[in-house]
Amino acid sequence: MRIPYDLFIWPALLIGVALIPLEAEVHLSICPIHNLGFSWCPGCGLGRSMKYLMVGEWQRSWDLHPLGGFAFLVIGIRMAEIFKHIKTTKNNG
């Protein structure tokens, strides 16, 4: 049985988001657009937005990036698909 590689990526991403320190004024960015010196990026703030959702600060999450909740939804759906695939493959194999 082949396990999809993103089964490890999505939980690692969520753990990384959970470890983001919210009180820090300067934050680590792996965004290539930000690191090239551009001041605006359509995805910047998404990770911190997701972190604020994790701690229940809905308004701050929305203020940072309105798609933080949508990102959680997409990640959750993908992880459910992976687990369903693994369960189906295990039962059929």
Q: What is the pLDDT of residues 38-63, one digit of tens each?
A: 878 888 888 889 999 999 999 999 99
Is pLDDT above 70 for 25?
no
Arithmetic mean of pLDDT over the chain: 86
Average confidence (pLDDT) over 61-80: 93
60's tokens: 């701050």
Is pLDDT above 90 for 92?
no
More confident: 7 or 58: 58
Burial group, residue 49, by CB count within 10 angstroms (0-12, 13-18, 19+): buried
Is pLDDT above 80 for 67?
yes
Question: What is the sign of the dihedral through the CA atoms of 43, 45, 47 and 49?
Answer: negative
More confident: 14 or 30: 14
